[in-house]
Amino acid sequence: MTSNVIKSGVLDIIQEKYQNDTILLVVTSRDNVPSVRSVDSFYHDGSFWIVTDLRCNYVKEIQNNPYVMISDGGHNRFWCKGVIAGHPLDFKNASIRNVYLKVFEPWYKEVNNEDLESVCYVKVTPYKGYVHKNKIGYKFNITDDSVVVSDIKHHIDVKLEPFW
């Protein structure tokens, strides 16, 4: 079955799965060589958000090539475009910083030294991907406003019922 992004509910599923403090894998590349690392993240208002440091290799890689892949280490994966959103105390980041403080309470201030000029937010926005919930898979493309919805029949994504 095909649908569009809004009617399919795929964005609601992503929000539900990743709106809280979540460890995700971020894949970037340099000279066509991929690199993966785990980051603490959350999904809010159509994007994944990461607090990090401008000196990190993956931040430099995003600055040179904004195309990023996000995965939860399972079968959910998202092709994204990343941007460096600036320092947490930048006026333009006030509302998202409030979200960070709620999502990462109580440890946000403990582990993120906002006195450092190099601290930054990274905004990673999916443009296509795959996510599943309740034995239903959603292959989506936000750019084309299309979603292919299908039952999942293979064993990796579903809880198999015993046959005995």
Domain borders along the chain are 2-151
The pLDDT score that the predictor gives to residue 162 is 47
Confidence check: pLDDT of 33 > 80: yes
What average pLDDT does range 90-110 have in this prediction? 95
The pLDDT score that the predictor gives to residue 158 is 47
SS3 20: coil
CATH code: domain 2-151 is 2.30.110.10
Q: Which two tokens stand for residue 107?
A: 């440890």
Residue 105 contacts residue 156 (beta carbons within 8 Å): no
What average pLDDT does range 72-91 have in this prediction? 96
Measure the CA–CA gap between 34 and 118, rounded to whole angstroms: 24
The pLDDT score that the predictor gives to residue 126 is 98
What average pLDDT does range 100-112 have in this prediction? 93
The pLDDT score that the predictor gives to residue 163 is 45
Confidence check: pLDDT of 95 > 90: yes
Q: Indicate the pLDDT class of residue 24, thresholds 50, 70 and 90.
A: very high
Instruction: Flag whether the pTM goes above 0.85.
Output: yes
